[in-house]
Every structure is written in C-alpha cells, then in structure tokens.
Homo-oligomer: A and B are copies of this chain.
Amino acid sequence: MKAAIIGYGVVGSGVYEILKENAGGIAQRAGQSIEIKYILDIRDFPDHPESGLFVKDYSVILDDPEVEAVVETMGGVRFAYDYTRQALLRGKSVVTSNKELVAEHGHEFFALAREHNCRYLYEASVGGGIPIIRPLARCLAANEIESVAGIINGTTNFILTKMFRGNQSFESALKAAQENGYAEKDPSADIEGRDVCRKIAILASLCLGKRVSCADIPTEGITSVSAEDMSYAEALGCSIKLIGRAVFRDGRAGVSVGPMMVPKSCPLAGVEDVFNAVAVKGNMVGDCVFMGRGAGKLPTASAVVADLIDAAVRGGYSGEFSWEDDGSAAFDPAGLEDKFFVRILPKAQKAVTERFSGAEFIRGVSDLGFVTETMSGTELDRRLVGVEGVVSRMRIYQ
C-alpha cells in the first residue's frame, strides 16, 4: 500500500520513522508493505534521506491513484478539514492524530468515508499510543458502556504531579513543564482543559454512536488549582487530577472536564507525570483501565501506524468507529451525583453546619473544607444558595 503524509511535524516524522524501523513486522501484520510515496509540507527538508518524497502541491497526492491512504498530521482545522475532505472524496482512507478535527467534524468524515467506501481512523487522537478507540469499540463490544473517565492530557498531569509531589505553585510547575518540552509556549489549550474536552468528546461520541459536541461539555482547566488544594487532597488521601468524564444514560452522555479529587485506592490516582490513563466501566466487565504514554512523537505515531495497518488490511468502509450528528446526545452533567470537597471561609461554617448535617471540617492554612455526601451538582448549588464565603468546590472521583 502506498500512503502520503501531510504535515511533517513531530508526529508525521514519527510515522515515517516507524514505517522504516519496523518495516518487516508491519508488512507481515498488514499483509503487504506500507510505503510512503509523498510527504506534503510547506517547509523544505533538504537533508532528509528521501528528499524526493516531498511535495508542496496536494493535488499531486490526490491525483495519484496509487495512494490509497493519507496520514493527516497537520493539526488545526483550517487546512486539515479541506485536505481530509478531498482525500475521502477520492476514496482514499485518512488516518489522523488531529483531535480537534475529529471532535468537530468526525461525523462529516464518517459519512463521506461511507459514500466513497474508504475509512477515517483516529486512534492517535486520544491517549497517544494507548490503545483506547479499538478496545472501547471492539473488545468491550459485549458491554453497555456505563462511563469513561480519564487522565488524557500529559501536560496538565505533569503540572499537577509537580504541584502534588514537589509542593510547587501552579506557575512554577507550568514553567518546569515548558522547560521540559511538555508544555507549549502558549499552553492555554492544555491548562484550560480544551484539549481534554476534545478528547472526551471523541470517546463519548464513539461510545454513543452519536456526536457529543464540545459546546455541550462544561470545561474547567487547572489554572485555579492551588498548592493549598493539594494539601487538602493529601489530607483526604487523594490526588488531584484533571479528569474528562462521560457518564452514559438512556442513549445520552453527561460529559464534563475539570479537576477532581481522586482517592488513592483508585488506579487513576497513581498515574503520574506525562502518563495517561482511561478507565472504562462496562455493565458486564466492570472496570478496565488502559494506561501508557499519552503523548510524544513515537507513541502517538505508533497509534497512527496501527491505523494505517488496519486500513491496509481492510480498506473499504466499516462503520464500527463512527458516529452521526443528531444534535442531542449530551445531557447536563450537573445532574450527576458525586461526593464534593467544598472549601469555605470560617464565616460560612455555621450556615454549612446547618445545611450539611454531620459535616466534618478539615482546617487548611487560609480556610477550611469538608466532604459532602453523594449528591448532584445541582443539589449542592441549591444547598449553598445564600451561603457567604464558599471558596471552591471539587468533585470526588469514585
């Protein structure tokens, strides 16, 4: 099979490297060799060992009937959307690591792939190298999925780990992440939770077969998590993790992104640094957890290449990883029930004691906190109406 890479950045070049390095095993598992015939990039790579592969005109790739698959590792939506569309219109399968594009436009691409009998595959868009799309769709196919929750952003997990283990402030942990190459110069998509939002939207849509739009996912990042929150977490036997979570009910999903207290007895609590993990609860299998490197050149590229192999084995359309957009797949996650950790100023203690009977207070440096019984976010809001001095609240993962 001949393929083209469009976008020769970190992941794109990783795909090229893996196809060279593991060529023998890949050919065996794909039933044929997989060869890169073109690489499209606006930059020049004169020192590349195969500089003859590089083109600047996408139509060269589109017009070559030998090219059966396109690896889209450009990122962003603007050009990638159009390039993906054109490839699928020609019946060329597209394999991507572009979570933004999958979350926003996946449903359009699945429909195009069906029309033109090819595939749109995106294992690399969530959890980097961790197999998660196929296990969810295929291996747990006997189950009704009840929930999916994960640590699916390495940058923020690195920052939270530094804050928790090293007693660092958010700002200094972010700086460390940038110095280590784990955070971008503009880290907002990571630290404000937008990256997690896209990924959990993908997982929720996959589980439902219906699109969950990012617009329907309340998203909170980690910028307001403080060293004092970490001390409270420690006192409660928890870690604080940025969790994307989807809970499924009656064919719809309540999806949210935000920091949660995760009890140490839970496997997600021990996932540190840039590692990712996704916990899936099926109605028959119970809890499964998938862990690994959620980012990085070769792990992510290895997921892209797994999709390429899949496309080589079966190039024609298959609906198994697809969803449709019928505009109504999400419900408000405020209705979901958890325990909450609530921080309050001393002046709120009297009102809280009246409204949360049996609340036991933990004293922090500047305020105090308590753990509620299990209740919905809506109910918590109701109980806190008119209470002055509520500092913050955080759901406790269970």
B267/A306 in contact, CB under 8 A = no
Residues in B with CB closer than 8 Å to A320 are 29, 313
Residues in B with CB closer than 8 Å to A306 are 138-142
A140/B144 in contact, CB under 8 A = no
Closest-by-CB residue of B relative to A132 is: B139
A143/B302 in contact, CB under 8 A = yes
A306 to chain B, nearest CB (A): 5
- Closest 3 A-B residue pairs measured CB to CB? A131-B139, A142-B305, A129-B285
Report the bound CA distance from A252 to B166 in whole Å. 43
Residues in B with CB closer than 8 Å to A302 are 140, 142-143, 282, 284-285
A144/B298 in contact, CB under 8 A = no
**A290 touches B (CB below 8 Å):** yes
Report the bound CA distance from A303 to B140 in whole Å. 7
**A283 touches B (CB below 8 Å):** yes
Binds B, one of A18-26, A57-65, A72-80, A378-386: A18-26
Closest-by-CB residue of B relative to A314 is: B314
**A355 touches B (CB below 8 Å):** no
**Which of these, B134, B283, B293, B308, contacts A139 with CB under 8 Å?**
B134
Residues in B with CB closer than 8 Å to A30 are 141
Between A and B, 19 residue pairs with Cβ closer than 8 Å are A22-B283, A22-B284, A29-B137, A29-B320, A131-B135, A131-B140, A142-B301, A142-B309, A143-B302, A285-B293, A285-B298, A285-B299, A285-B302, A286-B296, A287-B292, A287-B293, A288-B290, A289-B291, A289-B292
**A68 touches B (CB below 8 Å):** no
